[in-house]
Structure 1
Amino acid sequence: MKVVFNFIKMKKSLCFKYLLAIISITFFNYQSAIYGQTFEASIDSILLEKYPPNAPGATFLISKNGNIIYHKAFGLSNLELAVPMKNGNVFEIGSITKQFTAISIMMLMESGLLNLEDEITKYIPDYPTNGNTITIHHLLTHTSGIKSFTSIKGLNTIAEQDLTPMELIDFFKNEPIDFLPGEKFKYNNSGYILLGYIIEKITGLDYATFVEENIFNELEMKASRYASHSKVIQDRASGYHHKDGYTNNKMISFSLPYSSGSLMSTTGDMFKWQEAIKNNLLIRKETADIVFTNYTLNNGEHIDYGYGWHIKKIENARSLEHGGSIFGFKSMGVYIPDSDIYVIGLSNCGCNSPTEVTRKIAVLAMYD
């Protein structure tokens, strides 16, 4: 009788533990679901406030561990037709273009077609360096001292002209340098123009074709392209300015931003780009390590920049990031390697930069 009683008691105990386990799992799943909803709702609230339904908008994508966990659009892609923004809208990404230029250079380096310590006079023999050694490395890191063409008087006079890369280089090459190579860091669009020309000189392809064939096609970034005003581009978002009301963006020739800022993309394609960089699909890991080195000046001071990416910190975690600004558009991409979190925001008004909100969302994703 005692044996039967103990058996029954043991059976009841096992049933209780099993029931407790079921309750615990159910509660955990419920908590996870609620927390997931809270995370999504938090991001929605932040972005709805910044990009209201009746104004130019933005698209945002968040990925974690290689999986998209958030992808939404806000505001309008076209004010005149009141067209709502959607995830597939195509934006001018401005200086995020520099990432593609830097990786193109590294692809050529891996192929043995250039060296990072090559002097620019190897490719442009008559470039006036005035006895200074200016290398590809200097161009990639914004430490060349060459004056950025976007800060030169007279830029407006050529803004709508379609120039060849060499004609654009002629516009700034005779300007006095701002400092000796390697002495300072100063963000510089001219350096990335020179890199685009070097890509063309080595490959025999124009910059747009090289990027399309070797990056966009390889990664199936089907919505990405070199920008054009004249071509019909499906799902193109219209760009705007805001000063005493909204106005259409100022028109410039895309031959000016060229390899420093003339690409277009979507948040979905930019996710493909980030995954390709993370997984070394275009360049080897050891080459990527060179790209993401925090370089130093001649005096040993870190510049918080690699090749085409700023190297910063968010919540004490290493962050690889870059923004973009071109007439009527702002963009920002942030990648946190330790958490494998990527946040990309593309907006269609020069008045409403996604930079700070993208970094804020990255922090929230770190604790999700």
Structure 2
Amino acid sequence: MHDEPRTDAERRALAAFTAAEPPADFADRVLAADLAERRGTESRAPFGRLLGLGAPRLAGLAVAAVAVAVATAAAAGWMPEWTGLSRHAPKIIPAEPPRDAAPVAAALPEGPPVPELALPADLEARVDAYIGAFGRNYGDAFKFHGVVGVVKDGELVLTRGYGRADLRRDGPNTATTRFKIGSLTQTFTAAAILQLRDRGLVDLDAPVRKYIPDYPATGNRITLRHLLTHTSGIPSYTDAAVFLVGHTRPVTTADVRAIFQDLPLEFAPGTDFDLSNSGYFLLGQVVENVARQPFADYLTHNVLAPAGMKDSGIGLTPGALGHEFDEDEVLVPAAQRHFSAYGSAAGMVSTAADLARWDRALRTPGLVLSQKSLDEMTTVARGEYGIGWFVRKDGGDTIAWHPGGVEGYNATIARFLGDGVTVFVLANTEAVDTRAVAYDLAQIAHGAEVQPPQEHTEVRLSVAELARYSGNYVLTETTQQAMKGLIEADELGALQQVRVLRIDDRLFMRVPEHGDKWMHYMGDDRFFFKDPSATLAEFGPPGAPVAHLTLQQGELRFILKRERDG
């Protein structure tokens, strides 16, 4: 846990210990002192709520609540201010030409001036070196399988495929391999609604029931704009327990609506922000009712076709098979849910080449959307969200970005609206988080030096030494209070009590309803997990019987007290 020096609060608390049994409230006092010190010396970094379907599922993580929450937090501070931009002329790497007859010039939205950007001449080598570092210590399951791409001024200048589309076969991932893209679908759904608005067929400030007459009475208080900006207050149906089971066969719109439409709103429409896949699922029904055709058909003919995206859509078969890693840290095919369960919220497949075309279309007023609608998509409505895109201001530029993930897949796209650079990452495993890859890829494209992903070295322990850590651990009251408002109650509840157990010569952490997660020893009572959460676990106090377990990820710290045996 202590890659950085311990805080004064930690040192003072630890200094109070002897080898005797520690006081029962030790963990609470450590966290309380640390929180008090932090609040007195620094402002706390903002943490967004969980992305739900908008984040990669990262299935099988025992500390899923920690993993997704911190990934969300990291994403909220998306891009650093760029320094040391390369002065080299860009090396244009041949790529598949656009499917339309001639390239379309990028029409960039107006914004603050940004410096002329030249991509690094060795961009391909830098990207290869970075991607090739995945799995060097953690093994084959943690190598990158997918495609990355860099777009400059609407043209694809680099696309690289890595790993295999199906680990059971030898087919490679390429620029035309189809991947499921999860809630990246919402950028397209938002475009379909804005296109209907451009054509005078919908009013964004009209209530939902104007376009879906059979929606419950709450639809009179919720507008299309609320749905588009995730300010409706409708609970996200993909978080519901009933959604977590089944759906391998086609489901109807009524089936999905039944999960959420009669639930109480989380807040009054327009007063708060919370990502809701329910809202974007409803937007697909709005399109169907207004255009009088299936959403998939409208999307294909009115959004994807003008953009030249012939390998994308809802209901298409992906070419890459989604994989997750099991409790033995081996990649296995992920169980797949039928696309109809996701629809306009997360049901699309796409390719690297097509996402480059999508970026170009969004830089070309009149091709799919008017300039007014293009600007509105990337204008913050609440928090750091516009319409269909997260929006971040950085160093005089505006970054529009979005993650997505469903079973066995995750994807991220980040568009720099000022300097014309776009990066995207598609993966057919859950072992590598594409948000982190896109973040680093963007830095590489802007000439910055990027360190390879950190992969700790494991140290072997004897069975007797592992047994020292076994036991039941409960979340401290101080931790629970500190995390209120940062972590959803049900997700925090998953960590209320965990069990650390030895199975043969391995140590596992078991979280109720999340399975067992292999803990790898790294020395000094510290363990690491190999999943994208980058969570570290530390037992303490040093030199005394184990009394507590600390789970640390980024700025989030969860302290659990060990229950007395018997």
1:158 is displaced (CA, Å) by 4.9
CA distance, structure 2, for counterparts of residue 139 and residue 340 of structure 1: 29
| Residue 10 (structure 1) aligns with | none
CA distance, structure 1, for counterparts of residue 219 and residue 372 of structure 2: 33
CA distance, structure 2, for counterparts of residue 251 and residue 31 of structure 1: 45
CA distance, structure 1, for counterparts of residue 307 and residue 218 of structure 2: 41
Q: How does 1:202-213 map to 2 (within 5 A)?
A: 202-213=290-301
Matched, 1:40 2:118: no
Matched, 1:106 2:194: yes
- 1:97 and 1:259 in contact (8 A); partners too: yes
CA distance, structure 1, for counterparts of residue 90 and residue 188 of structure 2: 38
- 2:209 and 2:219 in contact (8 A); partners too: no
TM-aligned CA distance change 1:38 to 1:175, over 3 Å: same
Q: How does 1:7-46 map to 2 (within 5 A)?
A: 32=89, 36-46=120-130
| Residue 12 (structure 1) aligns with | none
1:78 aligns to what SS in structure 2? coil
Comparing 340-349 with 156-165, greater Cα deviation is found at: 156-165
Alignment match of 1:260 (pick from 345, 353, 373): 345
1:315 is displaced (CA, Å) by 5.2
CA distance, structure 2, for counterparts of residue 357 and residue 202 of structure 1: 39
1:49 is displaced (CA, Å) by 1.7
* Stretches of structure 1 lacking an aligned partner (at least 5 in a row): 1-29, 297-302
CA distance, structure 1, for counterparts of residue 148 and residue 161 of structure 2: 6
1:102 is displaced (CA, Å) by 0.2
TM-aligned CA distance change 1:31 to 1:158, over 3 Å: closer
Per the normalisation by structure 2, the TM-score is 0.55
| Residue 250 (structure 2) aligns with | 162
Matched, 1:238 2:324: no
Root-mean-square deviation (CA), in Å? 2.3
Q: How does 1:304-319 map to 2 (within 5 A)?
A: 304-314=384-394, 317-319=397-399
1:83 aligns to what SS in structure 2? coil
CA distance, structure 2, for counterparts of residue 326 and residue 237 of structure 1: 13
1:269 is displaced (CA, Å) by 0.5
1:320 aligns to what SS in structure 2? strand
1:363 is displaced (CA, Å) by 2.3
1:201 is displaced (CA, Å) by 0.6
Alignment match of 1:353 (pick from 433, 455, 460): 433
Matched, 1:189 2:289: no
Matched, 1:337 2:337: no
Matched, 1:147 2:235: yes
Render the CA deviation track for 1:137-189: whole Å, top value 9, x for unaligned: 00001010001001112113452242222331122101111111111110110
- 1:75 and 1:84 in contact (8 A); partners too: yes
- 1:56 and 1:77 in contact (8 A); partners too: no
1:77 aligns to what SS in structure 2? coil
- 2:208 and 2:220 in contact (8 A); partners too: no
Matched, 1:60 2:148: yes
| Residue 26 (structure 1) aligns with | none
CA distance, structure 1, for counterparts of residue 90 and residue 185 of structure 2: 38
CA distance, structure 2, for counterparts of residue 316 and residue 128 of structure 1: 44
Matched, 1:86 2:174: yes
Paired residues, what number? 328
For 1:282, the aligned partner's letter is: V
Q: How does 1:218-233 map to 2 (within 5 A)?
A: 218-228=306-316
- 2:88 and 2:121 in contact (8 A); partners too: no
Percent same amino acid among aligned pairs?
28
CA distance, structure 2, for counterparts of residue 81 and residue 196 of structure 1: 36
- 1:314 and 1:363 in contact (8 A); partners too: no
1:33 is displaced (CA, Å) by 8.1
1:68 is displaced (CA, Å) by 2.5
Per the normalisation by structure 1, the TM-score is 0.83
Matched, 1:287 2:373: yes
CA distance, structure 1, for counterparts of residue 370 and residue 246 of structure 2: 40
2:402 aligns to what SS in structure 1? strand
1:56 is displaced (CA, Å) by 5.6
- 1:189 and 1:260 in contact (8 A); partners too: yes
* Stretches of structure 2 lacking an aligned partner (at least 5 in a row): 1-86, 92-118, 449-566
1:60 aligns to what SS in structure 2? strand
- 1:56 and 1:240 in contact (8 A); partners too: no
CA distance, structure 1, for counterparts of residue 336 and residue 144 of structure 2: 18
The structure in which a higher percent of residues are helix is 1
2:415 aligns to what SS in structure 1? strand
